[in-house]
A and B are shown apart, each in its own frame.
Chain A
Amino acid sequence: MSKEEILRELREGILSYDEGRVKNAARRALEEGMDPFLAIKDGLTPAIREVGEKFERMEIFLPHLMMAAKAMEAGVEVLEPALDKSQGQKVRLGKVVIGTVQGDIHSIGKNIVAMMLKAAGFEVIDLGVDVAVDKFVEGAERANADIIAASALMSFTKVMQRDLVEYMKAVGARQKYKLMVGGGPVNEEWAREIGADAYAEDAVKAVRAAKALLGIS
């Protein structure tokens, strides 16, 4: 299999949401002596970006995004151990710990943001719903995260985003992590008022905001 054929196989595997196909192509890349960094950079990454763009245009939806992200993860899992250290750092844009705040069990919006961040190349640790402020910080510490992202879908739970800022300050974690907030009742003004670093109205903007926070163009 030529390099071009392997790259095509990786791309088509992602675009057809086929985990097995991506895994096989990734194995083949290593067997053929292909640079694993290039397999990710020129094979998987453009394909997952394409998936993200289709989602943005509403041509595909969350289930497709999830299947594509799973296929991407399967490929990276095969290729990652073969990367040298400096290459490994380049593959992941950054780590994001994400969750819905305490008292709130809405998950879909948060899951869409998590998937779009994954598709963009971030490593995402999803803490789930009803997440207490200390669990956000513990999760970020455990993962050595760059960003904490907190979602709130109700006006009487968005106050937990403010509490998260206060808790981070109280335990000396505010300067360690960038903080993004989002959700139905949340807006730019609220984010500014509570002292968050960024607000994103939707998943597409969340990716842009996360990149901007880490200085990635």
Chain B
Amino acid sequence: MISFWEIARRAEFGPMMKEEDFDMRLARTAMELAKEHDITYDPSVYVSSDDGLADEVWQAGIELLTRCGVYNASNKRVIEIKEEEIKEALKHARGEIEVGKGKDRVRIRARGVEGSDPPTIISGPFGVETTIEAFVPMNQAFAQEPLIDVLFHGGHIQSLNGVETIRANSAFEVIAARLYAELMNQALVLAGRPFMPQVWIPGGVGDLNELAAEGAQIHNREDIFLTMLLLPELKVNDYKLSEVAHFMNFGHPIYGGATPVIGGYAGGPDTAAIVAVATNLALKLVARADLIHIGPQHFRYRSQTNPASLWMNSVMGQAVARNSKLITTTSVTTAGRPGSMQMHLEAAALAICSVVSGRNVTGPRPAQPLYPNHHNPLHSRLFAEVAKAATRLKREDANEIVARIVSTYKDTLDFEKSPKGKTFEQSYDVKTLKPTEENLKLYEEARAKLIDFGLEIEG
């Protein structure tokens, strides 16, 4: 595969371009490619079964990346990528990676379309502010869920010693990042899974957080994925490239993520599917991702379980799974919030769609949390059960089940209408870490509903 040194060199010396011109070139190229390859969104389909469409989207994605490249927003230069470089990288893709130690070691695979192998479940209290009091119990409660293979804990500490909100790039953030690492170690020891694989976005976005967390000896640990996020669409900056160099220096597996935005520069669901394929490839070549995470984002809903995101995710997933051994996962963010039936059902819809389309799954989390500690490990439990059950489905059956599920929530996807839900403390006994009766009842009702919809959940 093309070396990272060469990527960094192109980021430093590639041709210059105005950012707006790059955005428009990408948008126009995606539109042209959709026309050339006859790629059209079908709003009546949630999970596509069209292999031909998937292959056209794959080819169009390669062409998009080679025609547009990846933009370095820091110095306005384009990292150009050649088709033979993509093909060479794909030829050497390993198709599996092992992370973690001892009994918690996990093998994460490139999955196939309608593959019967179990998907890796990546889940945890990601993307929500966490109070210092709830930090250890909440992470412990997630880590204790046996179906979660990899703990995803990109949450951050909300407040410290009377500082109500820790601001990005402040000194408090660096202190919180170090503390975060210490407390995470504690939570995993308490859960009995000290070397459970983790995905880390330590403490926020500040430039010094990675270094700050070194104090808690998170580095040189092959059980910890560190995260590098590409910016939408097909963009990096100097800081993100420096992160990659830093992660590589420490030998960490890299979790490369991006959220192509339907309705943004990526255009409609059809052109966004092309952009999403190019983004999978860019995450491999530029971000050096060992595990590729895509969030099928939508500009209007700002969550990922709406009909357009489902279709885009299924087509993109199948395009990548049918044509490569890239190890991938789909992010699941919901409009319904933790502690609601809607969140259970939305998460199930995207989990089914992703698994039959050849991806592992990450989530679920609320797209717009309303409170600190707005998480609930029981959502992860059902999400994992659903993802495993989906390995027994054909795409046509998955589409029918997903259609039934979507009909329950499609009218309440706006944040104003979606359920507000409950915090971790309202859903769990924080001392025993047992779910409340009400929370357990909701989980059981959601489970029963999904079984009614035709999903064969084990147990």
Residues of A within 8 A of B (CB): 58, 61-63, 66-67, 102-109, 111-112, 154-157, 159-160, 163, 184-185, 187, 201-202
Interface class of chain B by DSSP: loop
Which chain B residues lie closer than 8 Å to A107 at the CB level?
231
- Is B24 located at the chain interface by the 8 A CB criterion? yes
Interface-side segment among B257-265, B283-291, B440-448: B257-265
Q: Contact between B173 and A156 (Cβ–Cβ < 8 Å)?
A: yes
CB neighbours of B129 from chain A (8 A): 155-156
B295 within 8 Å of A by Cβ? Answer: no
Once the chains bind, are A63 and B267 in contact (CB under 8 Å)? yes
Would B205 and A156 count as touching, CB distance under 8 A? yes
Complex Cα distance, B172 from A159, in Å, reads: 14
Check if B165 sits within 8 Å of A185, measured CB to CB. Answer: no
Question: Which residues of B approach A to under 8 Å, CB–CB?
Answer: 23-24, 27-28, 31, 73, 128-129, 156, 158, 165-169, 173, 204-206, 231-232, 237, 261-268, 299-300, 302, 367-370, 414-416
The answer to whether A159 touches B167, judged by C-beta atoms less than 8 angstroms apart, is yes
Selected from B28, B167, B299, B370, the residue in CB contact (under 8 A) with A108 is B299
Choice from B24, B299, B369, B415 contacting A66 with Cβ under 8 Å: B24
Instruction: Give the A-B contact count at a CB cut-off of 8 A.
Output: 85
Q: List 27 A-B contacts (CB under 8 A).
A: A58-B263, A61-B264, A61-B266, A61-B268, A61-B299, A62-B27, A62-B299, A63-B23, A63-B24, A63-B265, A102-B169, A103-B167, A104-B168, A108-B265, A112-B264, A112-B299, A154-B168, A155-B369, A156-B165, A156-B173, A157-B167, A160-B167, A184-B368, A187-B368, A187-B370, A187-B415, A201-B416
C-alpha spacing A156/B156, complex, angstroms: 9
What is the bound-complex CA distance between A95 and B147, given in angstroms?
53
Do B263 and A61 touch across chains, with their CB atoms under 8 A apart?
yes
The 4 closest A-B pairs by CB, nearest first: A63-B27, A103-B168, A108-B264, A159-B165
Max chain B CB contacts within 10 Å: which of A108, A156, A159, A202?
A156
Instruction: Contacts A102-B169, A154-B168 known; list 15 others, CB within 8 Å.
Output: A61-B267, A62-B265, A62-B299, A63-B23, A63-B27, A63-B267, A66-B24, A112-B263, A112-B299, A155-B128, A159-B167, A187-B368, A187-B370, A201-B415, A201-B416
